[in-house]
Amino acid sequence: MTYLAVPISGKDLESCKEQIQASVKAGAQMLELRTDYIESLNTEKLAQLIADAKQTALPIIVTCRDSAQGGMNNLSSDIRKKILTEAIKLGADLIDCEYANFIKKDFAERIKQALAQNSKTKLILSAHNFKGPFKNLSGTYEEIFTACPDAIAKTAYHAKHINDCFESFDIIEKYGKKVIALCMGPNGTISRIIAKKLRAFLTFASIADKAATAAGQLTIEEMKTRYRFDKISNKTEFFGLIGDPVGHSIGPVVHNACFDAEKLNKVYLPLLVEGGQIEFNEFLDNVITRNYLGLRGFSVTIPHKRNALEYARTKGEYIEPLAVSIGAVNTMVIGVNERISCYNTDYAGAMDALTQTLGINRKNLNGKVVSVVGAGGAARAIVAGLADVGAKVTIYNRTVSKAHNLALEFGCHYAGLDKIEKLDADIIINCTSIGMHPKVDATVVPAHLLKSSMTVFDTVYNPMETLLLKQAKEAGAKLVNGAEMFIGQAAEQFRLFTHKDCPMQTIRQTVLAALAKK
Ligand code: NAP
C-alpha cells in the first residue's frame, strides 16, 4: 500500500486541528505533522498536536524540518532534536529527520537512543534539493541505507524538466515501499501519482492548493477524483497528454471519466514536456525503456505534434497514412515490445463537427469556399480533409512560408495574416491558438469581416465561446465550437487506447461540464 499522506501545516494548534479534520474527511491515509510551521513551538504544543492527530487513528509522521531543507521558522538544531526525540516518546508512528543532520554525531545518538526505547516508531531519513536533481541520486539512497538499513529513505528534488522524474521512478522501482521519491514543481507532478503504481511508501497531497507544502503537490480531491488514486494498483496502465502547456487541458478529466465509466484500470495524466524535438525524443525514450511504468499511450498537442511524427519516422514506427499526409501525429499508442503506433484523430473530429452542425455530408463541402486561419497541426488536419472533398481553401497564417508550403501540398490558395482584410468565404475556420485562455480578448478575424451567410468554426475549445464565436454570433453566422471537434477526436483516442467504443454520453457530459467551468 502507498499511503496518501497529507501535511498538516497550521501555524497554531487550532488551525492544525482544523486541517486534521479536513484531511480525514477528504480521505487522507496518513498525516505528516509539520511541526516546524507552528509558531513558538515547544514540547507541550507537540504533545497536544500528537494527541489531536491520534484521535483520527491514522498513522502519523512527525517532521521538524531544518530551514536549510525547506523548514519554517528557522528552528535551532537543539529544538529540532528535542521535538523529534519527544515525538518518539509520545508514540509517533514515524519521524522524519534530514539525513544531513542524522549523520551529525549528537543528532544520530539522541535519535537512535530514543528509537531504541520505543521500537514502534520508524525513521524516515530525508534529503531535499529545491534547485534541481541530485548529482548522484542512487548514491544518496545507498548512503542512507548503509547508514541505517531499517530507515525509509526519502528524496524530494525540484524537477527542472519532466525528464528529471525518471531517475526517481527507477529508485522506487528498485526499492518499493522502503522509499519515498518525489519530484517537486510543475514538471514533477506526475511523480506524485505514479508513486502509487510503483508501491512507494507514501505520496503527499494537500487539503487545498494553498495548504500545499511543496510545489507541484496536488490536492487530495484532485488525486482521488481526477487521477483515480484509489483505483491505482501495480497493474494500472497510464496514458496522458504530452504538450506545453497542459495545465489548462480538460483531457485528464475527460479521459479519466471515460476510463471510470468503463471500469478500466487506466489513468490519464497531464505530461508537461517543455522544449522541442530533443526533449520530446528524450521523454519518449525514457518511457519506452521503462516498461515497468505502464505508460501505454499519449495524446499529443502543441508544440509536439510534428515532433511526434519525426520521432516515429526516425524509429521506423507505424504511422497511419492519413497522419503522414497531414504531417502531424496527435495520438501515440505503445503496443507489444514497446513498438509505437501513431495516428491523427483531429481530422475526423473536425470534419464531423462541421458537417453535423451544417446537417450535411462531407461530400457536400465540395466547392465551398473555406478560409482556414493557421498552418500548424490542426490546420494541416483540417486542410487535408477539406482538400480531399474538393473544398476551395485559402490558408492565412502569420508565418507566410508555412501557409505557402501547406497550400502547395494540398492545392490551396494562401496569404499572410496581414492580408486577412481580403477574407470572404462560406466557412471560416480558426486553427490558431489566438483567443485561447488566458488571452481570451484576442481574435484572429476582425469582427467587420463576419457575415450572416458564413459558418464560423473555432477549433479553440477553452473557452468554449471564444471572442471570434461571440462576434460571429452577433453577425448572425452559423457557429461550430472546438468542443465538438474535441469530443470527436477524444472518442477516437479512447478507442485507440482501449480497443473499446467510447462511452459517448459520459464524454459529452464531461467535456461540456468541464468547459462550462472554464
Ligand atoms: P500548432 O501546430 O502549434 O500551430 C499553431 C498555429 O497558431 C500556427 O499557425 C501559428 O502561426 C498560429 N499562432 C500561434 N500564436 C499566434 C499568434 N500570436 N499570432 C498569429 N498566429 C499564431 O498548434 P495546433 O495543434 O495546430 O493547434 C492550434 C489550435 O487548434 C489550438 O488553439 C488548439 O487548441 C486547437 N485545437 C483544437 C482541437 C480540438 O479538438 N478542438 C484539436 C487540436 C487543436 P505560426 O505558424 O506563424 O507560428
- Residue 210 has a pLDDT of 66
- Residue 248 has a pLDDT of 84
What order of strands is seen across the sheet that includes strand 427-430?
A: 413-416, 392-397, 369-373, 427-430, 455-458, 478-480
Cell of 304: 509536439
If one residue of 249, 305, 396, 398 were mutated to test the ligand 1 pocket, choosing by the most ligand atoms within 8 A of its CB, it would be 398
- Residue 118 has a pLDDT of 87
Which residues surround ligand 1 with Cβ inside 6 Å?
A: 302-303, 305, 346, 349, 374-379, 397-399, 402, 417, 431-434, 436, 459-461, 482, 485-486, 489
- Residue 211 has a pLDDT of 65
Q: How crowded is the C-beta side of 108, counted as CA atoms within 13 Å?
A: 12
pLDDT tens for 19-60 read 999 999 999 999 999 999 999 999 999 999 999 999 999 999
**pTM assigned to the model:** 0.87
Would strands 478-480 and 455-458 be described as parallel, antiparallel, or unpaired? Answer: parallel
Atom of ligand 1 nearest to the CA of 417: 20
Catalytic, 478? Answer no
Ordered per-residue pLDDT tens for the chain, 518 residues: 999 999 999 999 999 999 999 999 999 999 999 999 999 999 999 999 999 999 999 999 999 999 999 999 999 999 999 999 999 999 999 999 999 999 998 888 999 999 999 889 999 999 999 999 999 999 999 999 999 999 999 999 999 999 999 999 999 999 999 999 999 999 999 999 999 999 999 999 999 876 666 778 899 999 999 999 999 999 999 999 999 999 888 999 999 999 999 999 999 999 999 999 999 999 999 999 999 999 999 999 989 999 999 999 999 999 998 799 888 899 999 998 889 999 999 888 899 899 988 999 999 999 999 999 999 888 989 999 999 899 999 999 999 999 999 999 999 999 999 999 999 999 999 999 999 989 999 999 999 999 999 999 999 988 899 999 999 999 999 999 999 999 989 999 999 999 999 999 999 999 999 988 87
Domains in the chain (CATH in brackets) are 3-232 (3.20.20.70), 240-344+487-517 (3.40.50.10860), 356-480 (3.40.50.720)
- DSSP codes joined into one string, 433-490: STT-TT-TT--SS-GGG--TT-EEEE---SSSS-HHHHHHHHTT-EEE-HHHHHHHHH
| Ligand 1 centroid – CA 196 distance (Å) | 35
Cell 465551398 belongs to residue: 368
- Residue 336 has a pLDDT of 85
